[in-house]
Amino acid sequence: MKHITFFDTFTPDGGPAFEVYENALNLGAGVQWHDAYDAAHSRNVTIVGGLSVGGSVGAVGGWVQGGGHNPLSPSYGLGMIHLLIFNASLKRSATGVDNVLQFAVVTAKGDHITANSYRNSDIFWALRGGGGGTYGIVTSVTYKTRPSVPIIATSFATIINSIDASPSPVVEKLFTEFIRVSPSLSDAGWGGFAGISPGAVGTSLALQLYLISPTISPTQANDSLAPFFSFAQSLAANSSVEDGGRLEIVTSDVTTFDSFFTWQSTFFQNTGLGQVGFSGETGSRLFSREVIEKDYKKVAQTLLPLPGAGYGLVGGGVVNLRDPSSTGLNPTWRKTLVHAVFGNGWQEGANASQIRQAEEVIKVGIAQLHTIAPDSGAYFNEASLFEPNPEFTFFGSHYEKLKSIKKKYDPADLFLVAKGVGSEDWDASLNCRKY
């Protein structure tokens, strides 16, 4: 199940002969993103997948079936733009889910089927965003790729030295400004992540940015970041330990990498940071441009005190151009600019009461994020099990269609995951049907 096969040209089964994709990559179910990145790099193409230390996220499982975001998403969609030789014209399309050409699936009945735009197109639609572990066992995915190009990256990191308990007002000012300018950074072509810590007594990390773009020039990159960098410099110059904390800018640079592969190897795959994973839970919310533009202060104030807060500039751009009904993915993603996420952990060996306390923080945090954008949703792959309305929050108006496709391919509910499609018919343990 670790096979990786290149197709110089690929036509989906049952598709017209003129529909040809160059450099398609077929990945078996056991392939992790580090395998796929290495393979794509050896052919000088880019494939956009999950990012984690060691490249551990699966390339065929939950990532793509739940959506699949990446810092290149604003430029390439929730996966990527591809070159499609279609009727001799060159077209662009977006997005993990928009980047899939074909799935091989074993259904609950044990049938081996192909799912693409021409064969079993209903389950093809559902598998692209309707959640992993729900419709069948995917044994392989064929992805589009695109030629490798240099990317521009920024590293920006700050520390805060404070004598007061968090959150530091200086960090709040810095984070609020970053959120305020984030729509324009997205428009300039940037995508990526901001990690934020509120500050604590002593010296601690404050805001860190990892932003990349394959579409802008170094000059445009510097120009687009200059206002925020000068804001940060002025804030740092005028900050003091006594007056809310002394801010220090540790790194602030714009660098060109020869490819997305090199960038992700440097900061994720080959960092050698060891074991991925910890005991904890996450909460999150998807925010549209309108919400960020109108309520950036509230977003900052709400997110900042939450533990492990991250601000993912992984929507916007091409993600928002794709027809919301083109895949099973929650349609709210097509209006999303930002995936805001936080997490709370506990030590190994924690007792039930300590775990419940940690979970309370998640419950309170998701309720706060919800008030900012009540009509939005959350990214199924990085969200809380305590979401009060998971059908709508994770799948939006696609829920009923996803459920009917699940019933067609898995009438006995062999495949069930917590808060996934169809799970509401079962008790919390997913062992007993409710009726």
Query: Applying CB under 6 A, which residues contact ligand FAD?
Result: 29, 50-52, 57-58, 60-63, 65-70, 132-133, 137-138, 276, 381-382, 417
Least Cβ distance, residue 376 to ligand FAD (angstroms): 17
Neighbours of 278 (CB within 10 A): 11
DSSP 270-316: TS-------SEEEEEEEEEHHHHHHHHHHHHHHHTTSTTEEEEE-SS
Amino acid in position 272: G
159 vs 306 by CB, closer to ligand FAD: 306
61 vs 244 by CB, closer to ligand FAD: 61
Least Cβ distance, residue 365 to ligand FAD (angstroms): 18
350 vs 430 by CB, closer to ligand FAD: 430
CB crowding 64-97: b at 16 or more within 10 Å, else e: bbbbbbbbbbbbbbbbbbbbbeeeeeeeebbbbb
3-state secondary structure of 7: strand
Least Cβ distance, residue 217 to ligand FAD (angstroms): 26
Least Cβ distance, residue 62 to ligand FAD (angstroms): 2
Q: What token pair was written down for 385?
A: 């099990």
85 phi and psi angles, rounded to 5 deg: -90, 100
73 vs 161 by CB, closer to ligand FAD: 73
Residue closest to 410 by CA, chosen among 186, 119, 111, 169? 111
Least Cβ distance, residue 252 to ligand FAD (angstroms): 24
113 vs 417 by CB, closer to ligand FAD: 417
Contact 105, 115 (CB under 8 A): yes
39 vs 170 by CB, closer to ligand FAD: 39
Least Cβ distance, residue 390 to ligand FAD (angstroms): 14
85 vs 430 by CB, closer to ligand FAD: 430
130 vs 396 by CB, closer to ligand FAD: 130
Nearest-10 crossing angle of helices 352-372, 289-303:
140
Least Cβ distance, residue 174 to ligand FAD (angstroms): 24
Neighbours of 35 (CB within 10 A): 18
Vertex 248 angle, CA 246 and 197, to 5°: 80
Residue closest to 369 by CA, chosen among 288, 432, 287, 428? 287
Q: What token pair was written down for 259?
A: 């490819």
Least Cβ distance, residue 289 to ligand FAD (angstroms): 20
Least Cβ distance, residue 271 to ligand FAD (angstroms): 12
Neighbours of 272 (CB within 10 A): 7
What lies within 8 Å, CB to CB, of 234 at 6+ separation is none
382 vs 410 by CB, closer to ligand FAD: 382
Contact 312, 193 (CB under 8 A): yes
Max Cα-Cα span within the chain: 70
Least Cβ distance, residue 310 to ligand FAD (angstroms): 11
Q: What token pair was written down for 106?
A: 């074993």
219 vs 431 by CB, closer to ligand FAD: 431
Say how far apart CA 82 and CA 86 lie, in whole Å: 12
CA 386 to chain centre: 20
Least Cβ distance, residue 52 to ligand FAD (angstroms): 3
229 vs 267 by CB, closer to ligand FAD: 267
